[in-house]
Amino acid sequence: MVHLSMGCGGALYKKDVVLTAAHCMSGSGNNTSITVTAGVNDLNSSAAIKVKSKKVKVAPGYNGNGKDWALIKLARPIDKPTLKIATTAQYNRGTFTIAGWGDTEEGANTGTTKLRKASVPFVADRVCKRHYGNRLVSKEELCAGWQSGGIDTCQGDSGGPMFRKDDAGKFIQVGIVSWGDGCARAGVPGVYTEVSHFASDIARAAAAL
């Protein structure tokens, strides 16, 4: 789990590549303006590892509707564990973990310096569409959240991973924090990029960075 200086989250896909959301980025190309903070829960900790970005690759065809993933090539590798991504849809169910340094309530616009995490259950597309209708790109997006609300990702959590354990008990990333209406509202799930749908595209893009 890493923090990005523009106020988004991300996860180490490789030691020198971060997987995050396209909507956090200004576009593809050489980019040395992002500071990636890793290795700590508290962003103010003196143990924080800070590395600059070198290059950004935004999902091909991204236009603000689906395809919300991007990769950041780092100036140097970060020697921390990487998070494997799901390559099949089999883990796109159950209970997921979300984490980030974003707002702890809707409209706060402050974020937090200490990493927080929570659990949210999978929400089927047909249930999610009761609120979002055709705004949900079913093939490319996953919904998760409590019907009663109260727990959710929020502004500042964008790009961070949604993950769970695979059958071998290892953590696997199934989603990227993408969008939603407000934060933690009842009957309004969070919407996440469905990582397994883009796994081969992500692998190809990372290899070419």
Q: Which residues participate in catalysis according to the annotation?
A: 23, 68, 158
Q: Which residues contact 82 (CB under 8 A, 6 or more apart)?
A: 11, 12, 13, 14, 15
Query: How many Å apart are CA 5 and CA 45, to the nearest integer?
Result: 15
Helices (H), the chain: 125-132, 195-208
Query: How many Å apart are CA 78 and CA 54, to the nearest integer?
Result: 13
Query: How many Å apart are CA 167 and CA 193, to the nearest integer?
Result: 22
Of the CA atoms within 13 Å of residue 132, those in its CB half-sphere come to 26
Q: Kindly list the distances between the CA atom of residue 48 and the CA atoms of 2, 80, 117, 171, 181, in Å, as whole numbers in the listed order.
A: 10, 12, 19, 23, 32
Give yes or no for a contact between 74 and 80, defined as CB atoms under 8 angstroms apart.
no
Query: How many Å apart are CA 204 and CA 201, to the nearest integer?
Result: 5
